[in-house]
A = this chain, B = another copy of it.
Amino acid sequence: MQQGPQNGSTEIGRLRPFLANLASHVHLGEADLRGIAQLVTECRKVPQRTELVQGKQQSGEVQVILSGFACRIKTLHDRRQITSYLIPGDICDHRYLADRAPDQSVCAISAVEVAHIPVEALTDLCERQPRIMRALLRVSAIDSAIAAEWMVNLGLRTAQQRVAQLFCELYARLRVVQLAGSQAFDLPLTQAELGEALGLSTVHVNRTLQDLRRREVLTFRSGRAILHDRQKLAEIAAFDSHYLGLSDPTPNEAA
């Protein structure tokens, strides 16, 4: 299950979502991609419900989701708040940038493949390739922007709107890594897990989903989401994708 560094191209294959994510913000050349791929020291599969990162525990490695879904979690008493969903291509914890221990734990929702990259090696690479540093900073900035949007969700939106906005967001993010079709995508979450992210009880998530289904806007069933009417969904959510920074990457600089 553990594997040493491979020849670049194999790793590039596995890392595709991550590289796509980075490249969607800053144009990266073949050399950059290979450079990143070569830093991967380990690639492991973890079963669902496993803790990938323990809060308050520094590790010297960055973990990147290659496949499957995970989430960041904060716990209060015995209740959990999901502070973000991690999809393929996402970095588990951005605090490595500041050389700090994570303040949240990360938990696999489905079975997940993660790549490990030593922080030090990554930092070195960044020094040599500022483009890569920029890409990492942008990814991190977007992470913050998503957090802000989630605060709006929790603070201002109704249950309907929260669900709608979350599905809009996930659709947009999954498209970047080619994991969403034109109107559907896989999303291996339970309604309980949706509730933990949206600040709603499971029961209420259920009722809200039923309603959206009845209105033929969104169907979410057995791990698959179908957006029957994206227009309408975005309207309900008052969704403005701007915060996801999905505009075109800064113009090409080199190949």
Which of A151, A155, A156, A196 has most B Cβ within 10 Å?
A: A155
* A140 cross-chain contacts in B, Cβ below 8 A: 97-98, 140
* A238 close to B76 (CB less than 8 A): yes
A118-162 contacts to B, CB under 8 A, are: 134, 137-138, 140-141, 143-145, 147-152, 154-157
With contacts A103-B242, A155-B199 known, is A141 near B83, CB below 8 A? no
Chain B minimum-CB-distance residue to A147 = B147
From residue A127, how far is it (CB to closest CB) to chain B in Å?
9
With contacts A143-B144, A154-B199 known, is A238 near B77, CB below 8 A? yes
**A72 adjacent to chain B (CB < 8 Å):** yes
A141 CB contact (under 8 Å) in B95, B147, B238: B95
- A residues neighboring B (CB under 8 Å): 56, 72, 74, 76-77, 79, 81, 83, 94-95, 97-100, 103-104, 134, 137-138, 140-141, 143-145, 147-152, 154-157, 196, 198-199, 238, 242-243, 245
Q: Can you show 5 pairs from A to B with CB atoms below 8 A apart?
A: A95-B144, A100-B138, A103-B145, A150-B151, A155-B198
Q: Oligomeric state, in number of copies?
A: 2
The docked-state distance in angstroms from the alpha carbon of A21 to that of B95 is: 18
- Having A74-B151, A94-B141, A98-B140, one finds 10 other A-B pairs with CB under 8 Å, namely A76-B157, A81-B152, A81-B155, A97-B140, A98-B141, A99-B137, A103-B145, A147-B151, A151-B154, A154-B199
* A100 cross-chain contacts in B, Cβ below 8 A: 138, 141, 245
* A144 cross-chain contacts in B, Cβ below 8 A: 94-95, 143-144, 147
With contacts A98-B134, A242-B56 known, is A151 near B152, CB below 8 A? no
